[in-house]
Amino acid sequence: MAHENEFQQTFVMVKPDGLQRGLAGEIISRFERKGLQLKALKMIRIRRELAETHYGEHKGKPFYDGLIDFITSAPVIASIWEGENAVHIVRKLVGATRPDEAEPGSIRGDFAITTGFNIVHAADSEKTAKREINLFFKEDEIHDYPLTIKEWLYQD
Protein backbone atom coordinates (compact mmCIF):
# COMPACT_ATOMS: atom_id res chain seq x y z
CA MET A 1 0.00 0.00 0.00
CA ALA A 2 1.21 3.50 -0.77
CA HIS A 3 1.97 5.78 2.16
CA GLU A 4 0.04 9.04 1.86
CA ASN A 5 1.56 11.16 4.69
CA GLU A 6 3.66 14.17 3.80
CA PHE A 7 7.36 13.63 4.09
CA GLN A 8 9.93 16.16 5.31
CA GLN A 9 13.21 16.99 3.70
CA THR A 10 16.22 17.88 5.80
CA PHE A 11 19.72 19.16 5.18
CA VAL A 12 22.89 17.33 6.27
CA MET A 13 26.51 18.32 5.76
CA VAL A 14 29.53 16.11 6.34
CA LYS A 15 31.98 18.70 7.66
CA PRO A 16 35.67 18.94 6.67
CA ASP A 17 36.75 16.75 9.60
CA GLY A 18 34.29 13.99 8.66
CA LEU A 19 35.49 14.03 5.06
CA GLN A 20 39.17 14.16 6.04
CA ARG A 21 38.69 11.20 8.40
CA GLY A 22 37.09 9.10 5.66
CA LEU A 23 33.70 8.90 7.37
CA ALA A 24 31.47 10.18 4.53
CA GLY A 25 30.42 6.71 3.38
CA GLU A 26 29.70 5.58 6.95
CA ILE A 27 27.58 8.67 7.61
CA ILE A 28 25.62 8.37 4.36
CA SER A 29 25.05 4.66 4.89
CA ARG A 30 23.55 5.26 8.35
CA PHE A 31 20.84 7.47 6.84
CA GLU A 32 20.23 4.97 4.04
CA ARG A 33 20.02 2.02 6.44
CA LYS A 34 17.51 3.93 8.56
CA GLY A 35 15.26 4.17 5.48
CA LEU A 36 15.66 7.83 4.58
CA GLN A 37 15.69 8.68 0.89
CA LEU A 38 18.66 10.57 -0.56
CA LYS A 39 17.33 13.45 -2.66
CA ALA A 40 20.55 15.38 -3.41
CA LEU A 41 24.28 15.01 -2.78
CA LYS A 42 27.34 17.04 -3.73
CA MET A 43 30.87 17.76 -2.62
CA ILE A 44 31.68 21.45 -2.49
CA ARG A 45 34.22 23.87 -1.08
CA ILE A 46 32.13 26.42 0.80
CA ARG A 47 32.88 30.04 -0.04
CA ARG A 48 33.30 32.40 2.92
CA GLU A 49 30.16 34.36 1.94
CA LEU A 50 28.02 31.20 1.99
CA ALA A 51 29.55 30.10 5.30
CA GLU A 52 28.75 33.47 6.88
CA THR A 53 25.15 33.26 5.65
CA HIS A 54 24.78 29.64 6.78
CA TYR A 55 26.14 30.34 10.27
CA GLY A 56 24.70 33.87 10.53
CA GLU A 57 22.93 33.20 13.84
CA HIS A 58 26.35 32.69 15.47
CA LYS A 59 27.84 36.02 14.32
CA GLY A 60 29.39 37.85 17.27
CA LYS A 61 29.89 34.70 19.34
CA PRO A 62 33.47 33.88 20.42
CA PHE A 63 33.68 30.76 18.23
CA TYR A 64 32.24 32.36 15.06
CA ASP A 65 35.49 33.27 13.25
CA GLY A 66 37.00 29.85 13.95
CA LEU A 67 33.83 28.15 12.73
CA ILE A 68 33.91 30.07 9.45
CA ASP A 69 37.63 29.32 8.98
CA PHE A 70 37.01 25.63 9.71
CA ILE A 71 33.99 25.10 7.43
CA THR A 72 35.80 26.81 4.52
CA SER A 73 39.12 25.00 5.10
CA ALA A 74 38.39 21.88 3.03
CA PRO A 75 35.53 20.33 1.02
CA VAL A 76 32.26 19.26 2.61
CA ILE A 77 29.49 16.97 1.41
CA ALA A 78 26.06 18.59 1.33
CA SER A 79 22.98 16.40 1.12
CA ILE A 80 19.21 16.35 1.34
CA TRP A 81 17.36 13.46 2.96
CA GLU A 82 13.63 12.78 2.93
CA GLY A 83 11.32 10.73 5.09
CA GLU A 84 8.51 10.96 7.58
CA ASN A 85 9.74 13.07 10.51
CA ALA A 86 13.14 13.32 8.77
CA VAL A 87 14.43 16.33 10.72
CA HIS A 88 13.98 14.61 14.09
CA ILE A 89 15.22 11.22 12.87
CA VAL A 90 18.38 12.72 11.38
CA ARG A 91 19.08 14.69 14.56
CA LYS A 92 18.78 11.48 16.59
CA LEU A 93 21.16 9.66 14.22
CA VAL A 94 23.64 12.56 14.35
CA GLY A 95 23.57 12.93 18.14
CA ALA A 96 23.98 15.91 20.45
CA THR A 97 26.06 18.86 19.23
CA ARG A 98 28.52 18.29 22.07
CA PRO A 99 30.09 14.88 21.48
CA ASP A 100 30.53 14.28 25.22
CA GLU A 101 26.70 14.43 25.46
CA ALA A 102 26.02 12.38 22.31
CA GLU A 103 24.65 8.89 22.81
CA PRO A 104 26.83 5.93 21.80
CA GLY A 105 25.52 4.66 18.48
CA SER A 106 24.97 8.18 17.14
CA ILE A 107 27.43 9.58 14.60
CA ARG A 108 28.90 12.09 17.05
CA GLY A 109 28.74 9.61 19.92
CA ASP A 110 30.77 7.12 17.89
CA PHE A 111 33.22 9.38 16.04
CA ALA A 112 33.59 12.84 17.62
CA ILE A 113 35.50 13.99 20.69
CA THR A 114 35.21 17.80 20.62
CA THR A 115 32.43 20.19 19.62
CA GLY A 116 34.77 21.98 17.21
CA PHE A 117 35.25 18.76 15.26
CA ASN A 118 31.84 17.15 15.54
CA ILE A 119 31.85 15.53 12.07
CA VAL A 120 28.44 16.52 10.72
CA HIS A 121 25.86 19.31 10.60
CA ALA A 122 22.11 18.60 10.51
CA ALA A 123 19.25 21.09 10.33
CA ASP A 124 17.57 21.50 13.72
CA SER A 125 14.05 22.27 12.46
CA GLU A 126 11.92 22.03 9.33
CA LYS A 127 12.24 25.82 8.87
CA THR A 128 16.05 25.65 9.14
CA ALA A 129 16.14 22.67 6.77
CA LYS A 130 14.24 24.61 4.09
CA ARG A 131 16.55 27.61 4.51
CA GLU A 132 19.72 25.50 4.29
CA ILE A 133 18.47 23.44 1.35
CA ASN A 134 17.84 26.69 -0.53
CA LEU A 135 21.32 27.97 0.36
CA PHE A 136 23.15 24.88 -0.89
CA PHE A 137 21.01 23.44 -3.71
CA LYS A 138 19.34 24.66 -6.87
CA GLU A 139 15.94 23.18 -7.65
CA ASP A 140 17.31 21.09 -10.55
CA GLU A 141 19.85 19.44 -8.21
CA ILE A 142 17.11 17.89 -6.07
CA HIS A 143 15.85 14.59 -7.44
CA ASP A 144 12.37 13.19 -7.12
CA TYR A 145 12.24 9.46 -7.79
CA PRO A 146 10.22 6.57 -6.41
CA LEU A 147 11.63 4.77 -3.40
CA THR A 148 10.52 1.23 -4.09
CA ILE A 149 10.87 0.07 -0.48
CA LYS A 150 8.52 2.71 1.02
CA GLU A 151 5.82 0.12 1.63
CA TRP A 152 8.28 -1.75 3.86
CA LEU A 153 9.18 1.36 5.85
CA TYR A 154 5.89 3.15 6.51
CA GLN A 155 2.46 2.00 7.63
CA ASP A 156 -0.72 3.69 6.45
All structural domains of the chain: 8-139 (3.30.70.141)
Mean pLDDT of 119-132: 97
Q: Which one of the listed residues 3, 54, 88, 121 is annotated catalytic? A: 121
Write the pLDDT tens digit of every residue in 33-92. 999 999 999 999 999 999 999 999 899 999 999 999 999 999 999 999 999 999 999 999
Based on the residue annotation, tell me whether 121 is a catalytic residue of this protein: yes
Q: Can you tell me the distance from the alpha carbon of 78 to that of 42, in angstroms, rounded to the nearest whole number?
A: 5
The pLDDT value given to residue 14: 98
For residue 128, is pLDDT > 50?
yes
Closest CA to 96 of 107, 86, 85, 87: 107
High-pLDDT (> 90) share of the chain, %? 88
- Our CA angle for 92, 112, 35, nearest 5°, is 35
Mean pLDDT of 117-141: 97
The pLDDT value given to residue 5: 57
Structure-derived torsion over alpha carbons of residues 129, 125, 127, 149, reported in degrees to the nearest 10:
50
Residue 67 parent element (H or E): helix 64-71
